């Protein structure tokens, strides 16, 4: 692979959903999963195509758009249960590729529905119109925001949708999304404010002339799209990602008249000023990503650029709109991969590692690591303003600013920081005004490409008393758990500290401390200080004898090392299993869970590699061990009863040691 393309293969996130790379197959006709212009069903041909794309290393795949109301036969997408059952059976095969799947949902075409000569005949002949209504109700299919000319035909006018029809459509969006989520789909994309489709027709002033709550003001014109995402989030939960297909500019001069590149024209649709406002407004409504291009069906060639359109024809506009949101933005439309890679590389603060959220038990080295990152950034970029501050000090400063009526000065100061490190962010819990202020600081820094590093004693999902909007933002970037450091890591931490403080310790002393002080980074630092104090006060040389004396007297850690045998005995006793059961191929729930917990504990309490752990526990490979650790970690974050169970096993293990 050409090295210039490497930025395209960096991970990123949509909400809490991690995507392995930045290669996205956006929705195309003929790639539907659930049928199109035919009876709804799980489309095996479409599934084969999508699977092939995923196997060829696409990170995110969006099948062809799926109408929640199928124009053929008047079908509602949420009513075919078997279709979702078939999809659920296929999803594990898709997920083996490592790709993610978002199904694109649409309200339909409205006035942009393509009218053929046969359809004109069906509509204009009263008898045929009645006869064809059960399978081709053109009056319903082409209904739009306000009475408007059809994009393709003067003989089939588009009437105004009723509010009851709008509510029915919103309800189907939510129910369809919930069924897709239950089937294992990773997210949905709403084909809404895009290309002059039905939902977009509501946003456009040249189409929408309504006088009710769905027309007139900016908020009213975008209400349909807002209520769709709100209904989905209410039914599926805030964690279920919802992307938005979004046209930055309409590029439209009038009905059936689009603008060409470089042409001077008056925009009748969405101009850049409105788009800047709309993008932020739709993000705040709940959308987790913008999948962008330009155009309407009156200027269709922007969204489906033929060969005469310039390469990267939408990139400049999409790059501009990204400045106004702090959610991921995707660009479509004859996009050269090298140009795309360069666009990613030039915006490193917009990667999956901003914010960087570090969590772990007290003493595992969160503060040490956060400070080390800040120090390194300062070394590499001397002009960067890097600030480390504890959550407690931040609160004190904020309280003082309120008392002294200098809150604006406080916020303005923090908004000038290039790299902000907040230690022990969990201390913001329950402090609403502090959270609100930090929320605005966070948004400003993130939006302006500044780096945020946060530490906590627990994962975001376990932070009680924290506003949901903050928790969502904490998970935008990389969330990483810090565990007790291994022997080698403890040696490196010691070497760094000793070097930083201008000290000299013999290698055997460093090795001894690292091998015998294993509870926390804080203990390591305490031992170094104690050895230095003893050496200075009693004028003693720093050697192995001195180190042994200090370690024995201060840490009192003459404890027996935990072995894998110890772990297996304690785990099997807890689950009332014979030790031999762990080593079988049994897929019984209690055996699998016991095996996974044993692997997780072995990874935490021993220095064995994952390969050796797998060999000792069930004769499994290292990938199985990694999967087990990930599974246990994930369950610990969301299941308090499971958390208590593992803690009970750990306490028994510590007693045994």
Write out the catalytic residue numbers. Answer: 197
Torsion-angle region of 30 (φ positive above 0: left; ψ -120 to 50: alpha; else: beta): left
| Cα distance between residue 35 and residue 51, in whole Å | 16
| Cα distance between residue 304 and residue 569, in whole Å | 63
The 3-state DSSP class for residue 514 equals: helix
* 75-76/24-25 β-pairing: unpaired
Q: Which residues pair with 14 in a beta bridge?
A: 17
CA distance readout (Å), 1 to 6, 23, 73, 311, 337? 8, 14, 48, 22, 12
Kindly state the DSSP code that residue 34 receives in the 8-state scheme: S
602 touches 617 (CB < 8 A): yes
Percent helix, percent strand, percent coil in the chain, to nearest 5: 50, 10, 35
Residue 636 burial (CB count, 10 A) = 19
| Cα distance between residue 496 and residue 84, in whole Å | 55
Kindly state the DSSP code that residue 110 receives in the 8-state scheme: G
Closest CA to 550 of 524, 531, 526: 531
618 touches 588 (CB < 8 A): no
Q: What are the structure tokens assigned to 632, written together?
A: 């246990």
Residue 494 burial (CB count, 10 A) = 22
Kindly provide the residue ranges of all beta strands, DSSP E only, lying in 35-131, ordered along the sequence.
Answer: 60-61, 66-67, 69-70, 75-76, 100-106
Q: What are the structure tokens assigned to 629, written together?
A: 């650790």
| Cα distance between residue 614 and residue 610, in whole Å | 6
CA distance readout (Å), 136 to 14, 227, 423? 37, 28, 61
Match 């439309």 to its residue by tokens: 333
478 touches 348 (CB < 8 A): no
Kindly provide the residue ranges of all beta strands, DSSP E only, lying in 20-146, ordered along the sequence.
Answer: 24-25, 60-61, 66-67, 69-70, 75-76, 100-106
| Cα distance between residue 367 and residue 373, in whole Å | 10
Closest CA to 484 of 458, 456, 525, 521: 521
């Amino acid at each position: 692979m050409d090295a210039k393309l490497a930025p395209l293969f960096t991970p990123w996130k949509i909400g809490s959903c991690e995507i392995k790379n930045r290669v996205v197959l956006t929705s195309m006709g003929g790639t539907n999963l659930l049928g199109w212009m035919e009876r709804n069903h799980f489309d095996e041909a479409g599934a084969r195509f999508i699977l092939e794309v995923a196997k060829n290393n696409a990170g995110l795949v969006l099948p062809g758009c799926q109408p929640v109301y199928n124009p053929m036969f008047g079908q509602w997408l949420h009513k075919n249960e078997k279709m979702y059952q078939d999809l659920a059976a296929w999803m594990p095969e898709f997920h083996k590729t490592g790709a993610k799947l978002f199904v694109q949902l649409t309200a339909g075409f409205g006035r942009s529905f393509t009218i053929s000569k046969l359809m004109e005949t069906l509509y204009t002949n009263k008898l045929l119109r009645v006869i064809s209504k059960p399978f081709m109700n053109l009056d319903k299919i082409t209904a739009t925001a306000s009475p408007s000319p059809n994009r393709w035909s003067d003989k089939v006018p588009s009437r105004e949708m009723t509010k009851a029809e709008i509510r029915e459509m919103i309800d189907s969006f939510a129910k369809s999304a919930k069924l897709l989520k239950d089937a294992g789909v990773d997210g949905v994309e709403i084909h809404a404010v895009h290309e002059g489709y039905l939902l977009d027709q509501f946003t456009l002033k040249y189409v929408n002339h309504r006088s009710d709550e769905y027309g007139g003001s900016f908020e009213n014109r975008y209400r349909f799209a807002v209520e769709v995402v709100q209904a989905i989030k209410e039914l599926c939960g805030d964690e279920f990602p919802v992307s938005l297909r979004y046209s930055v500019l309409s590029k439209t001069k009038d009905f059936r008249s689009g603008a060409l590149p470089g042409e001077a024209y008056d925009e009748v649709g969405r101009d850049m000023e409105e788009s800047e406002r709309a993008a932020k407004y739709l993000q705040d409504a709940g959308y987790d990503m913008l999948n962008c291009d330009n155009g309407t069906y009156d200027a269709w060639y922007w969204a489906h650029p033929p060969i005469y359109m310039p390469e990267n024809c939408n990139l400049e506009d999409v790059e501009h709109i990204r400045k106004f949101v702090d959610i991921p933005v995707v660009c479509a439309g004859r996009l050269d991969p090298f140009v795309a890679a360069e666009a990613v590389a030039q915006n490193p603060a917009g990667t999956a590692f901003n914010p960087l959220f570090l969590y772990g038990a007290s003493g595992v080295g969160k503060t040490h690591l956060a400070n080390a990152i800040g120090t390194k950034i300062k070394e590499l970029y001397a002009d960067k303003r890097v600030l480390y501050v504890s959550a407690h000090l931040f609160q004190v400063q904020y309280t003082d600013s309120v008392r002294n009526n200098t809150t604006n000065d406080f916020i303005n100061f923090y908004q000038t920081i290039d790299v902000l490190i907040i230690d022990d962010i969990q201390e913001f819990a329950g402090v609403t005004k502090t959270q609100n202020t930090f929320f605005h600081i966070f948004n400003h820094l993130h939006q302006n490409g500044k780096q945020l590093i946060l530490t906590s004693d627990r994962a975001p999902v376990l932070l009680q008393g924290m506003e949901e909007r903050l928790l969502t933002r904490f998970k935008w970037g990389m969330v990483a758990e810090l565990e007790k450091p291994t022997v080698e890591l403890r040696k490196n931490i010691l070497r760094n500290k000793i070097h930083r403080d201008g000290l000299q310790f013999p290698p055997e002393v460093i090795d001894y401390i690292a091998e015998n002080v294993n509870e926390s980074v804080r203990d390591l630092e305490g031992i170094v200080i104690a050895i230095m104090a003893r050496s200075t006060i009693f004028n003693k040389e720093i050697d192995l004898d001195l180190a042994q004396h200090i370690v024995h007297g201060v840490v009192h850690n003459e404890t027996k090392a935990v072995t894998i045998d110890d772990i297996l005995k304690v785990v099997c006793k807890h689950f009332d299993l014979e030790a031999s059961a762990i080593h079988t191929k049994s897929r019984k729930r209690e055996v699998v869970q016991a095996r996974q917990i044993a692997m997780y504990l072995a990874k935490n309490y021993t220095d064995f590699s994952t390969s050796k752990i797998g060999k000792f526990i069930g004769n499994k490979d290292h990938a199985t061990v990694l999967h087990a650790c990930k599974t246990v970690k994930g369950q610990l974050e969301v299941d308090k009863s499971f958390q208590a169970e593992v803690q009970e096993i750990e306490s028994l293990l510590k007693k045994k040691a």
